[in-house]
Structure 1
Amino acid sequence: MTGTRPGLAVMAYTVLEQAKADLEGTLARVAAIGYVGLETYGLVEAFGPGRVRDAAAAAGLTITSAHTPFPAGADAQRLLDESAELGATTLVWSLEREEFDSPSAIEAGVVRVNEAASLAAERGLTIGYHNHFAEFRNSFDGRQAYDILLELLDPRVVVELDAYWARMGGADPAEVLTRLGDRARLVHIKDGPAVSYDDDVMVPIGEGAIDWTSALTAPSGLEWHIVELERLHVDTFDALESSYRYLVGHGLSRGSVEVGEATV
């Protein structure tokens, strides 16, 4: 099983403030814990794609994906150029909460995603869709908004499931991942009480309400497990190390440091 476990990455939003103060030092510290991947967010805007690419490479981190707006409309080519220079082959973003208020709103929003998928494919890049809670909470004539979305999306669009927000929408992350199958390539891992989308304070992975063993052993096409910790009331790097120990120690994710040997 060891060779097939998805790699463990950090979503840059988790360490964005630290990275803005010291990009190279922050990424090196993430890698020292044992994380092997990085999903970018906010770093390209702060430092430019070349410096972020080089800093990740120097730390030994693979860029799993870029969390960046869908490359559609007037900004499309700029966003694609940035991602290509960054070395990110998958660009991930979301529709807005209100775009799940009706089937027609979903249909209108999907036009933007599918335009992005077509333009990205011309550059050898892939678009990924990242959910929040409305996709699972809202339903129309017995059909879940997420199912409507998936049916309308260009089949080239892959999925980054945010398991925590799916749970907040009333879904079982393990069931969703199983249903998605190979289309699910990335998963956001966050933990907490799963009570309020806007107010939940996150905790290290394994200390909250999510059954991660069930979710992360469900059959799917996952290639990366991406830890995202937001609104923490504890030290960020302590939380990242605790999360690493939980996920790698339980044999769910693959890292570069055996549990018990991490130095931060």
Structure 2
Amino acid sequence: MLPSRSEVFVDSPTVPSGIDPTKAHPARRYNYWLGGKDNYAADRASADLVASGFPTVRTAALENRAFMRRAVTYLARERGVDQFLDIGTGLPSAGNVHEIAQSIIPSARVVYVDNDPIVLVHARALLTSSSQGATAYLDADLRDPRKILDHRDLARTLDLDRPVALMLIAVTHFLVDEDDPAGIVATLVDALPSGSFVVMTNATGDYLTPERYAENVEVNKRSGVPFRLRSAAEFAALLGDLEPLPPGICSVVEWRPDLEERAVLPTVEEVSMHCAVARVP
């Protein structure tokens, strides 16, 4: 039986199995920035600390989600991609990958991956597929890509002989250099057939002044969550030999913006997030 919402909401006396509410988690912190309620005091304290050094962090979170929606729409509508592997899913909110993809291709299939039990509880309860398509939810960590690739539910849901869009949205910046992020991405990409795509974002200090950059690095060190800002060159290194589609590596606000919906976009400084959509040859 799934826990009731009171069991997974803020500082509930009943904590789902596998959760340490005294330690901040990226998914719950992100949920707090987006105005959600599925977070604990440690998550909010960490999030507020990060915001003290980067006050527009909520704008960055919103723009990151907006980029994800544009990328999924483009891949489904323009490239015919109907399979998605979304690692670092985060807590469900409006406009999830399967909702966007299945609104274009009803038979689209999506596998969500996250390592926070709260995410899995909500995903299984709330993220329902269209009758023609399918979704699955894996309890796994990006740092163990083989566990993801070898999971039986991935094999049941996705056909790795056909193109897949690998979604790494706002998750690689939680991999520090010791995690070998380029090796992790390479392991995942090597399992994808030709014609697949990698959609990735990573926080950056490229658009910040030296003072703001130093402050951002400092507060992230103190936040309790490993975090790695990456330059455009470091971001490109994660993609290896993959060639990003136009407009290349850029700010998430600059990737095919929908100017019909919004005439004024946030600045690249306010968002400080690199992105790319790259094709697997």
For Structure 1 versus Structure 2, the TM-score category normalised by the shorter chain is 0.3 to 0.5
Question: Structure 1 length as normaliser, TM-score?
Answer: 0.37
More helix by share: 1
